[in-house]
Structure 1
């Protein structure tokens, strides 16, 4: 049976929410759903993988201390490296991303996000924290070589207060998701990176 889709993509969603339930995870899920829908209109099928950083907090700390990633963290890092696109969502603490969020991206391989489309988003108590997306998150992912879509999404507490208040948030989500879907679907599908693949020949290794 012939697939109705032009291509199949992998979207990885990194959520740094600390509580259950979490407004950070709620925003992440809405962004992912909107991206899947937008990519579907472009003819691509998208598989979503969600990474909850709260579940990896101890592994991230151990990796920072020892330089070795436990199995669960290693699997998450591989998923990020092999994804076609990434959604990264953090709560805002002290006018910036959370420490857990930053620590995770500190252990991502340096080239893993190079050229990868990324949508950045955050949750906060007030819309006054919206500038954190531009002075903290966007520079972080630009440094990592990612292609950050123009629209960043902040969801403040007031954005969840009823259907009328959620209208502007939905509009921002749809705009950002559309931008991410376009960046993702216009690229070749990502190839999984084999960490054991030699990039240097044995002759070069022996020659020093």
Structure 2
């Protein structure tokens, strides 16, 4: 299975990339029992100029076209953005504006965000989830937000806090990726994944 991680962090290193890596690591660990997982990370800051050129010209440069192909061919997606002005970053939105509206239909997606304060955590439900609903992706029930204070909170993966949220969301994504029909038509994806999402919500 191929897991693609999209990180919209602007600095290097960044808390956005750190969260993305921890989510991906947890998904790999949970999926390893039944499936080998190949992980590809797309760093949007490295594609910023290419994204701007595509928006202006309508044609993606080769590096951007390759990233889009990798994304649309993935079995699962982790999408992580920093919060700016109470929403996802402009770079994050610009990249997903270039994705064909049908390309993510039925694809399992885990959404996550980072910010300086917990007050911005609603960005997950007010901005990110509607974006991927529009793209008809199968977004897992648990979204992960990491504020600055979360990184020093410690705790284990079963206690309340960031480690627990990461593990729960990763578990949901790994389950959806494993349940996704092989070479299925988009409508088959939606049927199987909606059933799996229902099971995750009401266990």
Aligned mates of 1:152, 1:121 — CA distance in 2: 6
**3-state DSSP of counterpart to 1:163:** coil
**3-state DSSP of counterpart to 1:112:** coil
Unpaired segments of 5 or more residues in structure 1?
A: 1-8, 192-208
- Moved segments of 4+, more than 3 Å: 164-167
The partner residue of 2:141 within 136, 150, 155 is 150
Q: For residue 105 of structure 2, what is the aligned residue in structure 1?
A: 114
Q: For residue 171 of structure 1, what is the aligned residue in structure 2?
A: 164
The partner residue of 1:39 within 22, 31, 36 is 31
Asked if 1:63 is matched to 2:35, the reply is no
8 Å contact 1:84–1:190 — kept in the other structure?
no
Q: For residue 124 of structure 2, what is the aligned residue in structure 1?
A: 133
The partner residue of 1:15 within 2, 7, 31 is 7
RMSD: 1.5
What are the Cα deviations for residues 20-61 of structure 1, in whole angstroms up to 9, with x where unaligned?
1100000000000000111113x0110000000000000000
Unpaired segments of 5 or more residues in structure 2?
A: 185-203
8 Å contact 2:87–2:123 — kept in the other structure?
yes
Q: For residue 53 of structure 1, what is the aligned residue in structure 2?
A: 44
How many residue pairs end up in the alignment? 182
Q: For residue 174 of structure 2, what is the aligned residue in structure 1?
A: 181
Asked if 1:90 is matched to 2:81, the reply is yes
TM-score (norm 2): 0.87
TM-score (norm 1): 0.85
- Report the CA distance between 1:116 and its aligned residue: 0.2
- Report the CA distance between 1:163 and its aligned residue: 2.5
**3-state DSSP of counterpart to 2:32:** helix
Q: For residue 27 of structure 1, what is the aligned residue in structure 2?
A: 19
Aligned mates of 1:190, 1:17 — CA distance in 2: 32
What are the Cα deviations for residues 138-159 of structure 1, in whole angstroms up to 9, with x where unaligned?
0000000100000000000001
- Report the CA distance between 1:112 and its aligned residue: 1.0
Aligned mates of 2:141, 2:128 — CA distance in 1: 12
